[in-house]
Amino acid sequence: MVLRGRSETLMPQVQHFLTRRISARPILSRRLLATVSGPRPLPATLFSRYVVEPRKVTIVGAPLADGQPLLGVDRGPTFIRKRGLVQRLERDAWRVEDLGDLDFEMRSGLGRQEDFAEGAAHGSTKRAKMVGHANRILYEVTHEHARQDKLVLTLGGDHSIGVGSVAGALKGRPETAIIWVDAHADINSRNTSESGHLHGMVLSFLMNLDNSRNMKGFHWLNDESIPVLLPTRLVYVGLRDLDKGEKAFIRSLGIKAYTMHEVDKFGIGKIMEMVLDHILGRTDRPLHLSFDIDAVDPLYAPSTGTRVAGGLSYREAYYICEEVAHSGCLASMDLVEVNPTLTMAGGDERTVDMAVGLISSATGNSIL
């Protein structure tokens, strides 16, 4: 039964029925598993051992579109807020500090966006100087609030903002591990990228692959002594569209990667059990969840720039966020690549509502 490649032609109700994982085995929640093999369990009143009570979340808008070629993704943070994000968080007992959207052009002190267009590209990469400096601004803000033991929530923008959001997490909490939920691996270097777009190279900067931190615009990663992300502290979920160079990096570095093939084979419950056991095991470690909305099947989240059929179902996407919340270790998160200008007939609202719902689940909202 082939479903993943034809999801856009099926009615949501039909697909939901047909794609249920009959073979998936029910598993205990992470909170129960923790008493057997994982980190010590949290008191029921606490959300995360890395967020002080009363729980506070800092929202940072990162309206960056320069890491990819399409207009509109910079409007993602505004649309997500308009669909009631702050109200949802407040209903779930969060004290919300919304910093608004960062002004990358003004704060960079380097001129307007058009000054960093194709002519400022470095090698095969596009707009590297602009993207690098914007991410330094984001890093400074996320690091400051991570040090205050708040949950740091960054709203993209394209996925190139992951350089700054993860750098802030690593600097503030050096033991941080990353769960990267995405259709794409985003681990190309300037030597392997086929497009030159920086939203597909995020992890090469964080891991310093092919000396990526020496690129113009990204020297600050070394200047600020940002810890290099170790392969053992990165896990992928939902991959289904990878470049040749990315496959080579993942295999050579031994990075745990659960593609849509494994999701189909094992079911999302077992996948998340393996993900959390790998990066947490018996330790307490902060988690950063980086969620690209294109990990979700376009049937449920069509307003994104690099749609790939055969993605996570509605419930699979929510389950990932629910289990990360149940781990008791979430310390920071980014939600990226929502582009409300790309679809009509309600596709933008479906996508933005999905983004708000995923954030709500990751921050502790539960069915019961």
Q: How far is the C-alpha of 198 from the C-alpha of 255, rounded, in Å?
A: 21
Q: What is the pLDDT of residue 44?
A: 61
Q: What is the pLDDT of residue 4?
A: 39
Q: What is the pLDDT of residue 345?
A: 72
Homologous superfamily of the 4-362 domain (CATH): Ureohydrolase domain (3.40.800.10)
Q: How far is the C-alpha of 201 from the C-alpha of 212, rounded, in Å?
A: 9
Which of 366, 332, 357, 343 is CA-nearest to residue 60? Answer: 332
Q: What is the pLDDT of residue 40?
A: 60
Q: What is the pLDDT of residue 125?
A: 83
Q: How far is the C-alpha of 233 from the C-alpha of 120, rounded, in Å?
A: 33
What would the pLDDT profile of 132-144 be if each residue is shown by its tens digit? 999 999 999 999 9
Q: What is the pLDDT of residue 122?
A: 46
Residue ranges in the chain modelled with pLDDT below 50: 1-37, 107-122
Q: What is the pLDDT of residue 137?
A: 96
Q: What is the pLDDT of residue 106?
A: 52
The structural domains of the chain, with segments of one domain joined by +, span 4-362
Catalytic residues: 159, 182, 184, 186, 199, 292, 294, 337
